[in-house]
Structure 1
Amino acid sequence: MSGSPQGSPARLDGAVWRLAWPIMLSNVTVPLLGLVDTAVVGHLPAPRYLAAVTLGAALLSFLYSGFGFLRMGTTGLTAQAHGRQDAETVCALLGQSLIVALAIGMALIAFSDPLVRLGLYLLGGSADTAALAAQYAHIRLLSAPAVLANYAILGWFLGLGNARVTLAIMALTNTVNIALDATFVLGLGMTSNGVAWASAIANYVAFGLGLWLLRRELREMGGVHVPRRRLWRLSAYSDLFAVNRHLFVRTLCLLFAFAFFTARGADLGNTVLAANAVLMQYVMLTSYGLDGFAQAAESLVGRAAGRADWSLFGASVRAALRFSMVTAVLATLVFAVGGHELVGLLTDLPAVRAEAAAHLGWLIAMPALTVLSYLFDGVFIGATATRQMRDTLIVSLAVFLLVWWVSRGWGNQGLWLSFAVFSATRSLTLAGVYRRFRHTRWS
């Protein structure tokens, strides 16, 4: 295994960039695939197919996002073991993460019927659309073991400081998915079920690539032997479970916050819902850049923590912070100068554009409010301080709901105010805990 980068600012800046750019590029492919799915199904003769894909994809996104801890927890623990040069633990974490991922994936298939019925009941939709959405979701859930195993594989490679695997796997997934979309829907005349099968098959193809890359990496590591007891004894999973249970709760709280924001916007009418969706697209686009540097911090900080090299730990955080701040400033300038034009790119409806323009100030402020939350999420994942991530998110969610309750009479302005305060609280509480830990346990 290669060693950690030296602590000079220039070397660390280079290390951050080498880790971040493949992640950022792979993140950009996610909305691209969504656009292709929408374009393919949107040209079918009946709108119910597009509605079914939208509902089914929303349900699957929530389910799979809830298990994102398989990527994050694996990254932090692997990076620390890598920093200690503990090859046996690095390999054991890979095996353990894959076993957990495959077990959860099989459970999702086994319980797919009640999960889909409950999810679609909560999402709503006509009976005809719900039936098609259920078919779509059941097909895509067949690939749950592959999807979750890919989370573990990506997390493990990122823990080793290899972010290019993320780009390779995402590029293959989306390329196969797009090709099969065209084949099944445009070529074979399938509908929303064709899009679902395309996604399911693409995930298994990506899983195959991931296994091949793992085999190559393990061969380069010299075929480290992992005792079977570390794979089949439940107590050997204590570190993985301890880290992941906090991440699971934290992720559910975060998903709830976004779902609550969307639902309250819907209560204010279709125009407000559409305008908020347009603005939130750019909030998420900013997150793709900030998340790249946060995930770079996961790897670098984790390796420094594994070596108990707190000087390198702090230098790694500062390097990731520099890139994050530059990205946030650039995003703020782009939104301030071209915000109205950016809204116009996504909608030409006068009422929606006017509503979005009235709330453009919140979009301009959002990069500054969120930048530290993304960065310190990465730092805390690398340091496996996931309990603090959970606790600060719970506090932030409570503040969000309180501010919304107080300001609900202000309509959509109050909703955006509560979301802005939620974002700022996440940043400030994580920064506060980081500062305290830098003078205690990380010093």
Structure 2
Amino acid sequence: MSFKRFFAASSHGEVWRLAWPIILSNSSVPLLGAVDTAVVGHLPDAHYIGAVAIGAMMFSFLYWGFGFLRMGTTGFVAQAAGQQDPDEIRAVMGRALLLSLIISVFVLALQNVVLWVALNLIDSSAAVEAGASEYFSIRVWGAPAVLANYALMGFFIGTKNTRAALMVQIFMNGLNIVLDLVFVLGLGWDVAGVATATLISEVSACLFGAYLVRRHLLKLGGTWVRSSLFAGGKIAQLLRVNFDIFIRSILLIFAFAYFTAQAASKGDTTLAAVAVLMNFMHIMAYGLDGFAFATEGMVGSALGAKKPALLREIVLVSSFWALIVATIYALVYALFGPSLINLLTSIPDVREQAKDFLPWMMVAPLISIWSYQLDGIFIGAVQSKEMRNGMIISFLLYMTGMQIFDNFWGANGLWAALMLFMAARGVTLALVYPRVERRAMT
């Protein structure tokens, strides 16, 4: 593709149209976390903050493992949309919701086991454990709504309706913030108030999302075909893809958990410095995810329509803008990183060590961008086997790097291994990317 044709491509506008709502909705996530912390931070004892933090962490790990419900749904819906098959779009949506319901039943049935395991893995005071248990026991009943919402988000992104995803996210987080203030500061429900606010918000968001999906389906047309909904081959394909993504997600979760555990073994100061800089990683992820999500829907649609030239254009254009944004993150961290660290902590030793690690944050966006983008491409293409295999190889390299680099660089070796992990995720998928283009040609 020539430079002139590249910059004249209509995909530039579509990439931004799809990406900005995701970036904006992601930005509301840390705001909600800050409000949760703030409302319990004004209660008379510090254990309230610990209880909410640990309770929220339990659900982050639990639900992150089921992220395949969104990713798998996105690819299948996008390809059905590209084929202009509204009946199959409905069937994909129905199968995803059915799977989310089955999983949520297991989560509710095993909630006591999950809570016991989580609390035994975390060394905390009796007061914190009691509060975390109360938080978990209330919020766990939102599991059916949360998992269904993953499928709904997959539908929105797959149909390139990211504004609906934004509306649901803003509605949920906004309602959660209001209920936090009412239940905790107004009614004095402390930890139970935070959990109840989240539960009500998750259920309400699911109902709102279902309404928006129904409205969108009416515009698309089509009918619910029972034989298609319960087609054995389609269900087997859904389970296979979701299992591949589940393995990929579990390894990703463990990689970051292991990183934190290794940092903790270096002492409290190193752990605190790493925790400060992980905020930089999370903020970066919120921005780059917008382009990855946009890529998912556009790639799936191009593949469904069998348009290899459009597929290539989408990949190039979305990656171009993602790289621009990644470069901006790198520059911001280079220019303002020390000031941001000072805002996040006032402890001199933690500040000093975090600043020693800061060069890793300057290169992280430029290394990590390719893993985000290629994840988006392969999710849209529903080529989960490549994602699974790439993650397994990357994870093995990461664990090897952890052992080797630690001997040479100490705490800096942890960051070197993490950057190796992010780079390997991009390289392993880039090597098999031609398979995506070949699919568009057949």
Distance 1:240 1:338, change over 3 A: same
Distance 1:99 1:32, change over 3 A: same
Aligned residue in 2 for 1:34: 33
Aligned residue in 1 for 2:313: 315
Distance 2:339 2:379 in 1: 37
Distance 2:167 2:372 in 1: 24
One-letter amino acid of the counterpart of residue 56, structure 1: G
Contact 1:117 1:134 in 2 (8 A): no
Q: CA RMSD in A?
A: 1.5
Aligned residue in 1 for 2:199: 200
Distance 2:438 2:50 in 1: 52
Aligned residue in 2 for 1:154: 153
One-letter amino acid of the counterpart of residue 265, structure 1: A
One-letter amino acid of the counterpart of residue 185, structure 1: V
Distance 1:144 1:26 in 2: 21
Q: 2:371 aligns with which of 364, 370, 373?
A: 373
Q: 2:401 aligns with which of 400, 403, 410?
A: 403
Give me the TM-score of the superposition, normalised by structure 2.
0.96
1:40-439 pair list within 5 angstroms: 40-222=39-221, 224-232=222-230, 234-409=232-407, 410-434=409-433, 436-437=434-435
Distance 2:239 2:348 in 1: 50
* CA-to-aligned-CA distance 1:5-43 (integer Å, 9 cap, x gap): x99843101010000000000000011100000000111
Structure 1 residue 438 displacement after superposition: 5.5
Give me the TM-score of the superposition, normalised by structure 1.
0.96
Distance 1:441 1:208 in 2: 37
Distance 1:18 1:386 in 2: 26
Distance 2:335 2:131 in 1: 43
Report percent identity of matched pairs. 43
Distance 2:439 2:82 in 1: 17
How many residues of Structure 1 are paired with residues of Structure 2 in the alignment?
436
Structure 1 residue 234 displacement after superposition: 4.7
Contact 1:7 1:312 in 2 (8 A): no
Distance 1:125 1:162 in 2: 43
Distance 1:347 1:98, change over 3 A: same
Structure 2 unaligned spans of 5+: none
Distance 1:109 1:231 in 2: 25
Structure 1 residue 339 displacement after superposition: 1.2
The alignment partner of 2:387 has SS state of helix
The alignment partner of 1:142 has SS state of helix
One-letter amino acid of the counterpart of residue 352, structure 1: V
Structure 1 residue 437 displacement after superposition: 2.2
Contact 1:161 1:299 in 2 (8 A): yes
Q: Which 4+ runs in 1 deviate beyond 6 A? A: none
Distance 1:210 1:442 in 2: 31
One-letter amino acid of the counterpart of residue 217, structure 1: H
Structure 1 unaligned spans of 5+: 1-5
Distance 1:147 1:438 in 2: 31
Structure 1 residue 163 displacement after superposition: 0.2
Structure 1 residue 232 displacement after superposition: 4.1
Contact 1:49 1:192 in 2 (8 A): yes
Comparing 410-419 and 164-173, the one that deviates more: 410-419
